[in-house]
Structure 1
Amino acid sequence: MELTGDLARRFASVALGHVTRPYPYKDDHVFESDADVRPPRAAHPVFFGSFDWHSCVHGWWTLLTLRRHYPDMPEAASIAALADESFTPAKLAVELAYLDRATSRGFERPYGWAWLLYLHREAERHTDREWAAHLAPLARAFAMRLRDYLKILTYPITVGTHFNTAFALVLARRWACGRDAALVALIDAWAEQAFGDRSDYRGWEPGGDEFLSPVLTAALLMAEVRPRPSFAPWFKALVVANGWLARECRPVFVSDRSDGKIAHLDGLNLSRAWCLRAIAGTLGDEGLQKPLAQLADHHLEAALPHVAGDYMGEHWLASFALLALLVPE
């Protein structure tokens, strides 16, 4: 399964329809006084759409990624024009200033932080525009916050939702490679301490509102941190030898896509596909590459028809479909 031109246009049309849609919007905001009562656009003139801040960030990642892969599709010009209008120094300065509030310390931590770094990474690939330069101060601010956070985060957060540590570190580490060697080293050391001794996974998965696999996100992080000779036996001990992968890792059922939390499960199918594809690519001739790739395709097949249709999933699912379809990238 791969990203085709028709699918790219479909995803682009969906994302263009929500990154500037102001409502409904779920604001991650701590009100300090009556003066804080304001529309979301006042605090977030760039990332005010897509139901919430982090979804708007990775909606933009979706759009820029599609523009790079299909620069001649009709939607590419609309993406560039909207990005020129949105990623201005003045608007991004307001986004950056929001972080100065005393109560913004935990704003979008760590999921939104990681996606902003990933968006900046993608923007750097568009050398015909100044988007990356304009996003850079915000990216540096979140990278600094991530460094500080890892120094006080004693234990990994292994839920299947936005607070998941491993998922954020995968995206952040990819941004840091070639840009911030100190952050790469910190992530690698933290990941080894948190997950290096883990084996024989027996967690309760899936949870009813998960869009990330707690165990597969941790495994993907370790696949990027460790070389294959040490990763392969670690992975086998984690989910292969105990039968978890064969017994439990199958596409999940979504009962009501109009319910935002239940709709998360489409994302679980997509993010599992991403993890499985990426891990398969690191295992070489270990005998697991083909089974993992087939399992990834089963998860993709279950979720791709439902990327669009109801806004509760439509405002974010295309990003996770792209992650899976564009492995390795």
Structure 2
Amino acid sequence: MADELTPALAESFAKIALGHVSREYPNSLAHMFDSAADAATPSQLHPIFYGSLDWHSCVHGYWMLARLMNRFPDLPSASRIVALFDAQLTADKVAGECAYFERPSSRGYERPYGWGWLLKLASELSAVRDIRWFETLKPLADIIAGRFTDFLPIATYPIRVGTHFNTAFALRLAADYADSVADGELTALLTATAERWYGGDAACPAWGEPSGDEFLSSALIEAECMRRLMTPDAFRPWFERFLPDIEGGRPGNLFVPATVTDRSDGKIAHLDGLNISRAWCWRALASSLAEHDPRHGMMIDAADRHLAAGLGHVDSDYMGEHWLASFAVLALEA
């Protein structure tokens, strides 16, 4: 099993994404109809992100392609990625995506998961050698950053489920964007919100994991969010309080990969994503500990088990193929 992102694996992931980001159907469309005039196809509603079964998966498919091109400039598929970005990341098409978000009925569209991924994509594009794609997408990134700015102060409570509504995951991705564009105000808001929502958490039981529809560990993604946003000196004591029994292998369910029984079922297939995203979080969290810390080895072993359980299934069925490789890249690069 691969434990790092190699050029060969990157090329295989690129081919997967290139096969679905422009595939319009099947499509799971979450669309508010204000009137009959709003009846339209996915590509009419979303000029760029109409593929990959749904809007957010298409966005993080584009993120993965940008990431792979940044990591491996000589990737065999690089020319196809450039051609795709040139064709799709245009001012007119970005304006169309912006127009959709500017509808009053789209105030909460893709909140918060899609918001986080759009900013993650913009962050990656800011590191591409040709900055024009980032500059073209920037108006949409500005809208989404504004959504975070408007929403977080009125969001009294976090959402802890292991699905698209999880707020810790969105904060974690948005933090990368805020850093990449040096938006200190957004970073401060994300940090303050994370501390307000999660700062007092302790002795996390993780008793509800896994459920049958999760692709995120609500416990581990919260910890990863705090690792990303807190200073190391502040994070370590928080982590000690939050998961105090890791050395004893508890909560035990966090160390055991989920069982996936039917990868053609979109909800059950989420559990492959849970295994892969847990691997990402375990690896990232282990990096906050000294290698001689006994928890470090336990966390790396847990990451390896979860990655082994999920990595071989990123293209088993379209229900997973349209999104799992993006999470595999997160895990392999943690």
State the Cα distance separating 1:225 from its structure 2 match. Answer: 2.2
Task: State the partner residue of 1:100.
Answer: 102
Please tell me whether the aligned partners of residues 255 and 262 of structure 1 are also in contact (alpha carbons under 8 angstroms). yes
CA shift, 1:260, in A, is 0.2
Distance 1:218 1:74 in 2: 37
Q: Which residue of 2 aligns with 1:300?
A: 307
Confirm or deny that 1:231 pairs with 2:235.
yes
SS at match of 2:77: helix
2:119 paired with 1:117: yes
Alpha-carbon distance in 1 for matches of 2:305, 2:163? 22
Shift of 1:170: 0.3
Q: Percent identity?
A: 51
Structure 1: give runs of 5+ residues left out of the alignment: none
Contact 1:240 1:246 in 2 (8 A): no
Indicate conservation of the 8 Å contact 2:91/2:136, yes or no: yes
* 1:130 Cα deviation from its structure 2 partner: 1.0
State the alpha-carbon separation in 2 of the partners of residues 251 and 236 from structure 1.
Answer: 23
Give the TM-score taking structure 1 as reference length.
0.96
* RMSD across aligned positions (CA): 1.3
For residues 144 and 129 of structure 1, what CA distance do their matches in structure 2 show? 22
After superposing on structure 2, the runs of 4+ consecutive aligned residues of structure 1 that deviate more than 3 Å are 242-246
TM-score (norm 2): 0.95
For 2:62 and 2:26, locate their aligned partners in 1 and report how far apart those are by CA, in whole Å.
Answer: 18
Indicate the residue corresponding to 2:252 in structure 1. Answer: 247
Q: How many residues align?
A: 327
Deviations 1:225-244 (A, max 9, x none): 22233322322322232756
Q: Distance in 1 between matches of 2:250 and 2:192?
A: 27
Identify the residue that residue 34 of structure 1 maps to in structure 2.
36
1:20-40 C-alpha deviation (Å, 9 max, x unpaired): 000011112101111111101
Q: Distance in 1 between matches of 2:12 and 2:216?
A: 24
**SS, match of residue 160 in structure 1:** coil
Deviations 1:15-62 (A, max 9, x none): 000000000111121011111111010110100000000000000011
Q: Contact 2:172/2:229 (CA < 8 Å) preserved in 1?
A: no
Amino acid at match of 1:248: N
**1:201–1:244 Cα contact (<8 Å) kept:** no
Question: For residue 273 of structure 2, what is the aligned residue in structure 1?
Answer: 267
User: In 2, Cα distance between the equivalents of 1:245 and 1:5?
Assistant: 36
Paired AA for residue 294 in structure 1? D
Partner of 2:216: 212
Aligned to 1:199: 202
